[in-house]
Structure 1
Amino acid sequence: MQDSRFEEDLRLMAYAMYDSPGSLQVKLQAIWKQSANCIHQIEEKRPTDLQKAYRKIGINPKELKNFKEPFINGQISEEYSKNIKDIVFYPYAGLIITALRIKKNYYNTISSKENYPDPFSEEFRLQLFLKENFINSNFINQVVPEFFPLQLHSYSLLRILQIKKGVPVSEEIRSKRALTAVASRHYGEEVLMNETLKAISKIQDVNKNNTSIDDFFKKHRKIFDQVLRDYQDILGSPVVKGGPTLEFGEKLVTDDLPKYLKKWCNDKQFRSALNNNLETEITN
């Protein structure tokens, strides 16, 4: 399930560009506000990622006044930043550089007023969104187009902010971990099936007077209950040293087992063991 804050941020972003009433000025202000918010949140919630990225390119983060400083003072250029493929730093850098490009285009073509270094300063924001700018063709042609990549970088950062702390940002790593978890669940179910098979094989209902799997289960419920208890006692541990840990069945209760007995009948050996105790054989 997606974080509610993330969903709200995406809603605001879409609203800013497509659904908000009124002028272009209002739409772009909303995008700018969201972008500034993304920068602030990344710096607040992912400082370690930014610090690591800076160290990789020879910048000591402890010497920085703030994370934006290397971009603002020109230490990291637009071309250089394209070679930094860190999954958090790349969209962060892209957003700041795009904001700086907006500022540069603004001062080169629109205004000769005081040039504020930080593009996300309140002073520059007030200049940028003056009403008269939006009837200036230079502003429309040189500044406004940059808001589209700004929005894309903001979206990338929002996706990163959606991911809980401690969870890998890389989708590839998350996918591999998810596959490993699925494999562990399948392995755990197989272990429980084999333990259940051993128990069934020891049961000797000579008269085979069990009319169904449910009937057989009710008759030997205590045995199945003990099998499940023994299995759940070793959850979280590998069956063999170095093997996968058992993750399946933590919340299983004894009454859940009949449906698994029926499912496990797809296994020929398991089905044969059950048939030895049933009046009518199962013929999967």
Structure 2
Amino acid sequence: MSLALAHPDGTRLPDWTPGSHIDLVLPDGTTRQYSLCGDRWDAHTYRIAVLREPAGRGGSAYLHDRVRPGDRVGVGGPRNHFPLVPSEKYLFVAGGIGITPLLPMVRQAELLGVDWQLLYGGRTRSSMAFSEKLTAAYGEKVHVVPQDELGLLDLAAWLCTPCPDTKVYCCGPAPLLAAVEAVCAAWPPYALRTERFTAATQTPPVRNTPFEVELRRTGRTVTVTPDVSVLEAVRGAGVDVLSSCEQGTCGTCLTPVLDGEPNHRDSILADHERAANDCMFLCVSRSCGDRIVLDL
């Protein structure tokens, strides 16, 4: 299902860039993240696509069954942790509903006249959203691979040879991301960029003992015990930090780190971003040392 969102007063919405997502706050209080997949040059409309997930957490079922034209929902963002960076060439790899953040990237690459290809896999042709529109608009640049007809995506054929002038963008289920990461292991650093809809399997924290978090702007120090998250501890100290997924996938609780070394456990930051140690996601990440200082 595709949804168009507009301001009740018809006013301009905040600008966004390819790869952005929004928080959708439903009338029942549920908050979910959805990629913006419409026209970024339409200043008055956000468009998202929602796959009904029978085994999901209820957000998609609510949207499919209960939300109707004219209803009001809350919107947070947009935020972009999956930006389209400049490149001579792009290879976009989508699995299922993972096509949504790649749609505006394809449009942007086409607008810029950059060489690009889209590899799009799904269980069946009928379940692959936007596939007909993509092939009609872009022809041979789009490679639609329904699993029941053609099998799994032949990633090795597309990715076995590293291409220094190409950036690879991939979004889809965890097995697809893992397979793409494995095939791209020999590619140059930062050539592959991925976005996850579900959190990656977390490794145990580097320490199981309490540590202190200094809230520099608030002037307080709180102790984080092994049984609570930094987010919970900070909120307990009276600091209202926005959060949504609380799984390290949405990016809502991103917080600057002023001192100390974070134990990154999110599914968002790239390796070079983790190495910078200048931010962390409070819902899942912790501290490597006895003390960490946050810009809160």
TM-score, normalised by the number of residues in structure 2: 0.20
Q: Specify which structure has the higher proportion of helix.
A: 1
Higher strand share: 2
- With structure 1 as the length reference, what TM-score do the two structures score? 0.21
Q: Which has the higher contact order (CA 8 A, sep 6+)?
A: 1
Return the index of the structure with the highest Cα Rg.
Answer: 1
